[in-house]
Structure 1
Amino acid sequence: MQVRSLTVLQNWDCHTCGDCCRSYAVPVTAEERERIEGQGWEKLPDFQGVPFFVPRGDEYYLNNRADGGCVFLGADNLCRIHGQFGSAAKPLACRIYPFLLVPAGDHWNVGVRMACPSAAENKGRPLTDQLADAREYAAFFEATAAKGALEAPPPPLYGSNVVPWGDVTRIAAAVSKLLANPADPFERRWRKVLFIVGMLRKATFDGGGDTKKVVTGGRLSEMLHVMGEAAEDEEPKAAGDVKRPGWAGRTVFRQLVAVFSRKDHGMEKGTAQRGAVSRFWSAVRFAGGRGSVPKVHAVLPDAVPFAAGEVPLGAPTAAATALLTRWHRGKVESLQFCGAPNFGLSVWEGLESLALTFPVAMWLARVLIAGGRTPDDAVTRAVRMVDDNFGFNPLLGSARQKFALRLLANRGDLPRLVAWYGR
């Protein structure tokens, strides 16, 4: 199938920081294990008595050293497998990172994980220059277990309300356009998207048996345009004119912040993530919102009170706004926000979950600023923390967290949170 890169400008190249080699538990297939075992590493002195893989349930993962780094990471921050045998000799998970390939009917969409420092900083070549690599990965997926995913239907808009892949793409394009609008502050762009989502939840897309009433194709484009004009009229111009989120909404929000910001393994594992008891008490403290913010991630500062997360940040700089825009437009255009890439969420739920990451990142940025970081650096680091979990932390796919997201949306707190932490 075709591989399509994003229309939003996104650059990336590996700058050998080694962060990914120190941050993740990397799964390996039986074929990959056999290939690596045949490379002769056991003959080297520094691999004597060092297992290459560790079992976890029915799967195997690359082993990590005490500092969190992969056993194959060299002192120069380069992969020793890559250096000795080339990129193709590495596990596929290592080769493809930070790219994402999302099947979308008759083509693949290419996305990028902002957890990678080079992706967040937009350093390197445009994605359009790297389509050859993406096509190679796509061909591998098409020839293996991912083949079944290619035949999957598009994610529903909500419940059993389904439209063709082309209409899902049409919705994504309209949302991306709203998020790119420089005339609005970034938080208002999201409030307008959420206004449209709220209105379209009530719309009928199947026509009730009358093909003249089916909202699809050009009719859907017209509806999205009309809804966009209505959002311009209905949504307050300034964040300060939006009602403050309620106590219950802020409590649920902080619990979601805890999930979006946590790091459970690697060199940046939080000190509050050392065991079940510490994780439990961290959750309790996030729910209460008193005292110091638990270090669920190593980059969170020491002894910063929860109150720091409520201090207005002021208007984001041009650099911060550009990063936020790239981040969210990339998630929308790649369709990573819904369906299988985001725990089976429907289109409308997926957009709400992505909207939530904005106030989460802005809350974390405030805490990081209180710990001494500059505003731009704080926003960049917060985006990386949140995107590391978005679509990947299995807790976010749990029934409890999905219920929390629905609760915020149904109470009307989601746009209020966007405005409140967009101040």
Structure 2
Amino acid sequence: TCCKEYRVTLTTEEKNRLEAQGWDIDRDLGGLRPFVRHGPFWHRQWQLNHRSDGSCVFLSENGRCRVHERHGYDTKPLPCRLFPFVLVPQGDQWGVSVRYACPSAAENRGRPVPEHEQALREFAQQLALRENLTPRPDGTLLKPPLLQTGQRVDWSDLELFVQALLRLLNHRPDPFERRMRKCLTLASLCRQSKFDTVTGKRLQEFLHLISRAVDGDTPVDPASLQRPSWLGRLLFRQALALYSRKDHGPNRGPSMGGRLSLLGVAVRFIRGKGTVPRLHAWLPETTFETVEHTPTNLTPEAEEMLRRYYTVKVASMQFCGTTSFGMSFWEGFEHLALTLPILLWLTRAFAPLPADKGLARALSIVADHFGFNRVLGTLRQRIGFKLLASRGETTRLIAWYSR
């Protein structure tokens, strides 16, 4: 994934370093330029070039990085060395997230994160320099994201909200879908409160009390919740279309054609009937009706995959602030929660694959977009996500697709 689909943005220093290595365009790179300009005209950036099959121009025929082979690991651009990790500024330290777009990460292969600690500390120092992040007078790298519109708490109090969510997400007696519904109940209750004077120890006590109340306010049986409304289903399918598409690389969806073709795709997702457009090469031939009538039977292994994924996203705070289009804490979390019914829908679509195998594929597809697809941060999409959360539709969608 990293060398075939990952779009690597370069700093001027990284570009100059690669140029100084003296690559021969014809002999080494198959006649392709090593770099291309990408982005809107007001913010053009250099990126590593890719071949027609999506692979990086520096990827050799035997699957090795030519830069690494010829000049050493440390000469590679920082994003290449950092993948699949994501570093998130948190006060005076860094949170660590993982890009589950990497199939190995989605399937929990490889060494545990703590074994990478020394390398991650070095990467954090390099990333701070790369992004011109210097400590503020209070020692923090950035202001904390808003808790919600008009409310901001300091980093230490924001961490208390994170810990409250993590306790709910890791409450193993509950099936995972109920844990997420309980988190949304907590979010809804906290959105109704002001925390100007409730800080530190008082906030900690408040969150412990309200977390207990959340259990009684969240139905145990998902079947007891109403079906999502027609508007909820429509907005969900729009989000599903965005999250399931692949418009570049070897896994580009067969249905990703020209403008007329994409218009037809949009119409089919609006209707939610008939054949599901294959916006990603991994998606099988199926229909909306088949997916709706396929039960979700998550194995213990699949439940653990969900717990691990959402624990990483919440603990790192990747779901809000600078790593999530400037979203506030609660807006970002509600957006993150919406990915659960999307994952469950995709897992159904991958039947008859075993649930854990189907979910691993779904995680790779969804994680390719979360926090990285700029369309998700546009005003239009954010209004849709807010409508789903504020009307209780996200909660209903989670219950509906967990059946």
What amino acid is aligned across from residue 33 of structure 1 in structure 2? K
CA deviations 1:289-337 (Å, max 9, x no partner) are 01111111111112x1111231243441111011100000100000001
Alignment partner of 1:137 is 2:120: no
The amino acid that maps onto 2:97 is G
Deviates more, 1:395-404 or 1:342-351: 342-351
Match of 1:279 in 2: 262
1:44 deviation in Å?
A: 6.5
Residue equivalent to 1:6:
none
Residues 362 and 422, structure 1, Cα contact 8 Å, conserved in 2: yes
- Pair 1:199 & 2:182 matched: no
Alpha-carbon distance in 1 for matches of 2:100, 2:393: 26
Q: How does 1:118-267 map to 2 (within 5 A)?
A: 118-147=104-133, 151-206=141-196, 214-267=197-250
Counterpart of 1:293 in structure 2 is 276
- Aligned residue number for residue 7 of structure 2: 25
Give every structure 1 segment of 4 or more consecutive aligned residues whose post-TM-superposition deviation is greater than 6 Å: none
Distance 1:46 1:101, change over 3 A: closer
Q: Does 1:317 align with 2:299?
A: yes
- TM-score normalised by structure 2 residue count: 0.94
Q: CA deviation at 1:48?
A: 5.3
Counterpart amino acid of residue 360 in structure 2? T
Aligned pairs for 1:27-106 within 5 A? 27-42=9-24, 45-47=27-29, 49-56=31-38, 57=41, 58-106=44-92
CA distance in 2, matches of 1:341, 1:309: 32
C-alpha contact 1:312 1:421 (8 A) present in aligned 2: no
Q: Return 5+ residue gaps in structure 1 as ranges.
A: 1-18, 207-213
* 43 and 378 in structure 1: CA distance in 2 versus 1, 3 angstrom threshold: closer
| Preserved CA contact (<8 Å) 1:311 1:366 | no
Per the TM alignment, residue 30 of structure 1 is displaced from its structure 2 partner at its CA by: 2.2
Structure 1 residue 140, shift from structure 2 partner? 1.1
3-state SS in 1 of match to 2:86: strand
Q: Deviations over 1:240-292 (max 9, x none)?
A: 11111111101110000111111121111112223333223222211110111
Match of 1:420 among 370, 385, 400: 400
The alignment status of 1:307 with 2:297, answered yes or no, reads no
Aligned alpha-carbon RMSD (Å): 1.6
CA contact (8 A) 2:297 2:355 kept: no
What's the CA shift for 1:75? 2.2
State how far apart, in whole Å, the 1-side matches of 2:225 and 2:363 are: 24
Code of the aligned partner of 1:422 = S
Question: SS state of the match for residue 390, structure 1?
Answer: coil
Does 2:339 correspond to 1:349? no
Partner of 2:376: 396
Q: Is the 8 A contact 1:24 1:265 kept in 2?
A: no
Q: Is the CA contact 1:356–1:414 (under 8 Å) kept in the aligned structure 2? A: yes
CA distance in 2 between counterparts of 1:343 and 1:185 reads 30
Structure 1 counterpart SS, 2:6? coil
Match of 1:11 in 2: none
Q: Following the alignment from structure 1 to structure 2, what is the Cα–Cα distance between the partners of residues 406 and 296?
A: 25
Measure the CA separation in 2 of the matches of 1:276 and 1:31.
38
Corresponding pairs, count = 395
CA distance in 2, matches of 1:48, 1:192: 54
| CA distance in 2 between partners of 1:220 and 1:94 (Å) | 40
The residue type equivalent to 2:328 in the other structure is: S
SS of equivalent to 1:273: coil
Q: CA offsets per residue over residues 197-232 of structure 1, 9 Å max, x none?
A: 1111110111xxxxxxx1111211222122221111
The 1:24–1:48 alpha-carbon spacing in structure 2 relative to 1, beyond 3 Å, is closer
From the superposition, tell whether residues 277 and 93 of structure 1 become closer, same or farther in structure 2 (CA, over 3 Å): farther
User: Do the aligned partners of residues 271 and 48 (structure 1) sit closer, same or farther apart at CA in structure 2, a change above 3 Å counting?
Assistant: closer
Report how far residue 190 of structure 1 moved: 0.7
d(CA) in 2 for partners of 1:392, 1:89: 25
Partners of 1:219 and 1:50 in 2: CA distance: 61
- Per the TM alignment, residue 90 of structure 1 is displaced from its structure 2 partner at its CA by 1.1
2: distance between equivalents of 1:35 and 1:107?
A: 29
Kept after mapping to 1: 8 A contact 2:146/2:329 = yes
